Amino acid sequence: MPELPEVEVSRLGVSPHLIGNTITQVVVRERRMRWPIPEEVSKVEGQKVIAVKRRAKYLLIETATGTLILHLGMSGKLRVIDAVTPVVKHDHVDIVLNTGKCLRLNDPRRFGAVLFQAPNTQQAMFNNLGPEPLTDDFDDKRLFSLSRNRKGPVKNFIMDNAIVVGVGNIYANEALFLAGIDPRRAAGNISAARYKALTATIKQVLAKAIEQGGTTLKDFAQTDGKPGYFAQHLNVYGRKGEPCEVCGNAIESKVIGQRNTFFCTRCQR
């Protein structure tokens, strides 16, 4: 599933084509997505795009009459293309612009979403989200305080969107490795000093991934069709049995919280 850096790369890619231009039509070919696409999405037609923002893994296309909310799900791809480009299989939604371009969502598995949010309202999925990881609202004091008395694995803890949004599986593995923390350890048994290091590595890993274009996944490419490049620099994720680049010990793997988890038992404790 595309993680926060992939979604942020998508936001950066589509923003110049949308902001300041007018949405002339929202073409919905398939309404059966994660949630049915509501008829209200047409309310943005004739409206100028004011901003393109991101909250967690959701893209927010803002207009004066409301906001389109997009989620890529597990296999969604966004492309800015000529509006007359022939439709191919799984091209479910077009956001057509006055420039002759359109933002096209292709989603084979239909786990993505296109929703509408009226002004001064908030969709329920945003109600209990934690802070964005690359903002000052996310800090080590928050992590340490919320971790007390938690017996579950620290990896699950930092992937909890109520704690901090957008730390998905790939980047949780990488941040824990860089911080030297075993992902199996109970969140409540980790010291304040180690949470300070972990907070810094989460920010570092996510910022680097965004800078380098996201992580290459089978179902992800940037808005220009090029894959991301951060996968070339993964320390542990997907490297079971390979030698740790720091100590040479074989990388191990275990399922934690229904997700494959990769770690070095020598470097992480």
Give the pLDDT of residue 74.
Answer: 85
Binding-site residue ranges: 90, 109, 150
Helix (H) or strand (E) holding 71: strand 66-71
CB-based contact 178:206 (threshold 8 Å): no
pLDDT tens digit string along 156-197? 999 999 999 999 999 999 999 999 999 999 999 999 999 999
Binding-site residue ranges for DNA: 90, 109, 150
Going by pLDDT thresholds of 50, 70 and 90, the confidence category of residue 232 is: low
> How far, CA to CA in Å, does 195 sit from each of 44, 129, 143, 189, 211?
43, 20, 7, 11, 24
Give the pLDDT of residue 218.
Answer: 47
Mean pLDDT within 72-98: 94
pLDDT at position 242 over 50: yes
Give the pLDDT of residue 212.
Answer: 81
Residues designated as active site: 2-3, 57, 259
Q: Where in the chain is the domain with CATH 3.20.190.10?
A: 4-126
Going by pLDDT thresholds of 50, 70 and 90, the confidence category of residue 76 is: confident
Please tell me the pTM assigned to this model: 0.87
Q: Where in the chain is the domain with CATH 1.10.8.50?
A: 140-264
Sheet containing 113-117: order of strands:
51-55, 58-63, 66-71, 113-117
Mean pLDDT of the chain: 92
Q: Which residues contact 36 (CB under 8 A, 6 or more apart)?
A: none
Q: What is the CATH number of domain 4-126?
A: 3.20.190.10
pLDDT at position 53 over 70: yes
Say if residue 226 is exposed, middle or buried (CB neighbours under 10 Å; 0-12, 13-18, 19+).
exposed
Pick the CATH number of 140-264 from 3.30.70.580, 1.10.8.50, 1.10.10.10, 3.40.47.10: 1.10.8.50
